[in-house]
Structure 1
């Protein structure tokens, strides 16, 4: 086994352990907050966000693990590690929410449906089970890289890999911010809005950093 394979395996193990710890913590938090607010329903913005953002985060982790094996840049490797660990933790929290709410992890409707429902006025829970807005719901979550793009990233190395990773991750983060902002407009559930707000803040900061790293590589 090569050094890079051992490094990737160890990193993946650490990420998995952290995610499991966060799941346990999120169960406790969810039970505490549930006493004050009605629990989200399976077609609520909160549940839709939890399911879709887990998928979105999983791809960010995948891209980060890919680039760590393709570059020797300390800045890129540290950024990739930070993204992988933080987004694995957050995905664990969202998995925990759904478990606590007694809702299925699999969505009963197409991805992103929740994001195309009307923004509720007043009581955010009133719009939980409204039908999707008129118009086709996009099949792809905002900012997601295609499988072809990920396959291409795996063929690169050095500066070329770093540039493509940064370009893909900037778009990915912009899509994640859009999703977080959308649930903030549709929810007043404290656990959800707290995490969504932290996602927006952290990813906007990382976008600025990645734009600077990309500029240095053009």
Structure 2
């Protein structure tokens, strides 16, 4: 029985799980839930995940949520094309990077996204400058520690955790010119890294559906 993957278009947490499913070539059934229609709050979905959040997976009757935990579960149950190194120190490094991304890059990305895409009143130049500075400062340690060709060397959960937040910057720039952070303002190693992720054979498939409209 194929794994069922509950997804919300544009969720960075759901996107990283989708990338992992595709990378590992795990058979899955995609169920897209609409945030606008509040489908994540529907009783049928709450019966699966009482918190009503995506991503959620159901694998052989086992329901699981929280994106970082889902990635760990997929890594253990489906070890093909691993996203964690075998070496214990290297594995710890990747996990640390993923945690730091969730703590710092996510916070800066969310602040900029809320400021530009979801606030009713336009952002001031000062607010935008401060948000851009915070985002670039959040990315700076990853640029400094970048191994190549991906963040920690081989493709890992750190890359899939980081990518949706970095890709959101271009999304903001497309919708609100001069308010996002264009690729040419990204640190050079991370700019090349973003391009490498976008060349993965399954990248196009995982672009949030509403971003394609």
Q: TM-score range by the shorter chain?
A: 0.3 to 0.5
- Give the TM-score normalised by structure 1: 0.35
Structure number with the higher strand fraction is: 2
> Normalised by the size of structure 2, how large is the TM-score?
0.36
